[in-house]
Chains A and B, each alone.
Chain A
Amino acid sequence: MAEVRTIYVPNDTTAQSLGAEDVARQIGRALGEQQADIRLVRNGSRGACWLEPLVEVETDSGRVAYGPVSPDDVPGLLAAGLLEARPDHALYLGPTDEIPWLQKQQRVTFSRAGIIDPVSLDDYQAHGGFAGLEKALAMSPRQLVDEVTASGLRGRGGAAFPAGIKWNTVLEASADNPGNPQSGRKFIVCNADEGDSGTFADRLVMEADPYLLIEGMIIAGLAVGAEYGFIYLRSEYPIALQRLNEAIERAEAESWLGSDIRGSGKHFHLEVRLGAGAYICGEETSLLDSLEGKRGMVRPKPPLPALKGAFGQPTVVNNVLTLAAVPWIVEHGGAAYAGYGQGRSLGTLPFQLAGNIRRGGLVELAFGATLRELVEDFGGGTLTGRPMKAIQAGGPLGAYMPESQWDTPLDYEAFTEAGAVLGHGGIVVFDDTVDMAQQARFAMEFCVVESCGKCTPCRIGSVRGVEVIDRIIDNVNRTSNLALLDELCDTMEYGSLCAMGGMTPNPVRSAVRHFPEAFEPSSNASAGAA
């Protein structure tokens, strides 16, 4: 038998939510009893949520995996030779790198996730970490902005705005602002308010490879002349909060953050700010108000946050995945990143397979594969085993897509053409028991709960939307209420200040258009339970 050196038990939210802490405790106890010379490392997650907790055993010939390991499985695994990496157990998966679900991915941003101890700076550097920053420290701001522009990287938060253009605006903006105590400063703000249902890629970066985000933010600061950064993190992510704070503390202690980074004379100070449960704060202007300690109200644009952002100063607001893509781009060059993908959708997108899906988790691929490949080849169909009926892509403001649209290539423009949204890459699968009229109603209800209230189409329109859909479901003046719903959606789409009210019609209209039978009186009678 191969000599075992290390055992890995993940500590990200998903693994923990399925008992990883107990699994680690039991394995640790066994190691103590046997006085084995084996390290127990808590790694992040490789993103194969369906295999969590995924326990890995490292031998001199590589890592082998077991999963999903519930606490109840541990005694049996230990008896079957887990500590000797034996294959004699039903949960044995073979070499981790050869698990097809992982092997078929194109991991660029997530190349380290799940492999390293997330807060170990040694691990991070041993696996290529800080190579981009080392290079960036020797580059001019102009060169850095040009590299990101050449990569074709677009904002991964959902709006897909070219990152290079945004950075260039901030680079060229003047930070002189007489009378403002923050005059002279520019800011990097990371949008880590990952509120879209079906998305968890940001969380995975922060929990499994937090230095990657920190490195990306420092590089952004070097590129635009900002020495202060904030990570605006949603409060629903307690593990990410703890891990980011620990990573920041360690990075500061080793001079990777703070004043005079590694003796370069360059500075970057980073702070995590916690949100307070408001979905709207994922919208960048609302996020900035919240960051400033105010109600998270949407601001009209202009002024662009790039010119007048956090505390009135020029600010780069980028999503976690956008910033996390930057170290690789700087290390390998923008052209290398642009070598992935197609058309105007360049690079990779970490898709998140969620909802009723057999093999859910994070699938990083170059743009261009189809939705069907994702949900069938990777996802393996529904967890319930029933036929898939609808896929909601791009979060709660994204359209419900029927089977006729599943061959759409995963590409921003192709999705737009199909009347859908790729957004932050969340893919939520529903089986044939879903009641699409209730899903349409929920979209409006969600907007009622989460609207910031600044503009009328969103604040009032969503309330009226729930009422109108209820009347349709109850078969009250059905035809005229369907027409009214359509008009209401127009008002929200064209009259709202931001995407919250402006895109809530997406799931509503797609449900009505593609699943009209759900709004027929006959089907409502049997759908009361949903």
Chain B
Amino acid sequence: MNRAALESVIQGSVDRHRGKPGPLLVILHDLQAQWGYVPDEAVPLLAEALTLTRAEIHGVISFYHDFRTTPGGRHQVQVCRAEACQAQGGRQLEAAVREHLGIDWHDTSADGMVTLEPVYCLGNCATGPAVRIDDAILGRVTPDRMRTLLDDLQREPVNISGLMTEAPHG
């Protein structure tokens, strides 16, 4: 990570949210949106900019499931593990995804295309099992459809919103 670029992004975010009380989470979301993770080098810079300790910054980053400290895959795939999805075949879907990608939760596929994360409820509980691919939430996802979606993701860059709608559903 280029230090000058890092400093400029952090400073930009800090300036943008100046005047907001308790802005650390807001700024971390900015950084994660920029790079897909919060680099370790950002911690002392954030501490200085916000007059907090490095321990406090690290403590916040490590508390929340959303924040990564290493780069993830090109696409973030979240599979809902919560009860309403379990009731609709979610456990079978979880198993199918892990087997198809050959990775476990929090891991990234060898080609760097997909990072797999569990999620506990996407609020799509009447039409599960639910999956989120980047910012698109999908419903009634069967293991077969999921395997096709994953294969598509692992090929070349795909348009997620197009992907969301071209896939068969129901």
Residues on A facing B (Cβ under 8 Å): 13-14, 16-19, 21-22, 25, 49-50, 52, 68, 70-72, 181-182, 194-200, 203, 235-239, 271, 273-279, 290-296, 311, 352-357, 360-361, 383, 392, 396, 426, 428-431, 434, 439, 442, 446, 449-450, 452, 530
Contact B84 A19 (CB under 8 A): no
B123 within 8 A of A: yes
B12 within 8 A of A: no
Contact B87 A292 (CB under 8 A): no
CB < 8 Å neighbour of A68 from B83, B85, B170: B170
Instruction: Give complex CA distance A22, B140 in Å.
Output: 16
Contact A446 B120 (CB under 8 A): yes
Contact A18 B127 (CB under 8 A): yes
CB < 8 Å neighbour of B88 from A72, A356, A446, A452: A356
Contact B29 A276 (CB under 8 A): yes
B26 within 8 A of A: yes
Instruction: Give complex CA distance A273, B127 in Å.
Output: 27
Instruction: Give complex CA distance A13, B125 in Å.
Output: 11
For B87, B124, B170, the residue with the greatest tally of chain A CB atoms inside 10 Å of its CB is B87
Additional 6 contacts, C-beta under 8 A, given A311-B21, A396-B82: A198-B82, A198-B125, A200-B124, A396-B120, A426-B84, A449-B120
List chain A residues, Cβ under 8 A from B23. Answer: 293
Contact A273 B25 (CB under 8 A): yes
Contact A19 B165 (CB under 8 A): yes
Contact B123 A439 (CB under 8 A): no
Instruction: Give complex CA distance A428, B129 in Å.
Output: 13
List chain A residues, Cβ under 8 A from B25. Answer: 273-276, 290, 293
List chain B residues, Cβ under 8 A from A196. Answer: 121
Instruction: Give complex CA distance A491, B120 in Å.
Output: 25
Contact B140 A18 (CB under 8 A): yes
Can you list 14 A-B pairs, Cβ within 8 angstroms, ordered by A? A14-B124, A16-B137, A17-B139, A22-B166, A199-B121, A237-B123, A277-B66, A295-B60, A354-B87, A355-B83, A360-B126, A396-B120, A428-B83, A428-B125
A276 and B121 in contact, given A68-B170, A392-B83 (Cβ under 8 angstroms): no
Residues on B facing A (Cβ under 8 Å): 20-26, 28-29, 56, 59-60, 63-67, 82-88, 91, 118-128, 130, 132, 135-140, 161, 164-166, 168-170
| B94 shortest CB reach to chain A, Å | 11
Contact B165 A71 (CB under 8 A): yes
Contact A13 B84 (CB under 8 A): no
Instruction: Give complex CA distance A47, B113 in Å.
Output: 35
Instruction: Give complex CA distance A276, B67 in Å.
Output: 7
Instruction: Give complex CA distance A426, B126 in Å.
Output: 10
Contact A356 B65 (CB under 8 A): no
List chain A residues, Cβ under 8 A from B66. Answer: 235, 275-277
Residue of B nearest to A73 (CB): B170
Contact A354 B84 (CB under 8 A): yes
List chain B residues, Cβ under 8 A from A428. Answer: 83-84, 87, 125
List chain B residues, Cβ under 8 A from A16. Answer: 136-137, 164
Contact A17 B126 (CB under 8 A): no
Instruction: Give complex CA distance A159, B26 in Å.
Output: 28
A276 and B65 in contact, given A17-B130, A194-B123, A434-B87 (Cβ under 8 angstroms): yes
Residue of A nearest to B167 (CB): A19
Instruction: Give complex CA distance A19, B122 in Å.
Output: 17
Contact A294 B84 (CB under 8 A): no
| B143 shortest CB reach to chain A, Å | 14
| B135 shortest CB reach to chain A, Å | 5
Contact A13 B120 (CB under 8 A): no
List chain B residues, Cβ under 8 A from A236. Answer: 119, 121-123, 132
A429 and B165 in contact, given A236-B132, A237-B123 (Cβ under 8 angstroms): no
Instruction: Give complex CA distance A363, B139 in Å.
Output: 20
List chain A residues, Cβ under 8 A from B119. Answer: 236, 277
Contact B126 A200 (CB under 8 A): yes
CB < 8 Å neighbour of A426 from B88, B125, B139: B125
Contact A197 B164 (CB under 8 A): no
A354 and B64 in contact, given A19-B169, A293-B22, A428-B87 (Cβ under 8 angstroms): no
Contact A17 B124 (CB under 8 A): yes
List chain B residues, Cβ under 8 A from A356. Answer: 87-88
Contact A355 B88 (CB under 8 A): yes
Instruction: Give complex CA distance A158, B10 in Å.
Output: 38
| B124 shortest CB reach to chain A, Å | 5
List chain B residues, Cβ under 8 A from A182. Answer: 21
| A436 shortest CB reach to chain B, Å | 12
List chain B residues, Cβ under 8 A from A430. Answer: 87
Instruction: Give complex CA distance A17, B128 in Å.
Output: 10
Instruction: Give complex CA distance A196, B125 in Å.
Output: 10
List chain A residues, Cβ under 8 A from B126. Answer: 14, 49-50, 200, 352-355, 357, 360-361
List chain B residues, Cβ under 8 A from A360. Answer: 125-127
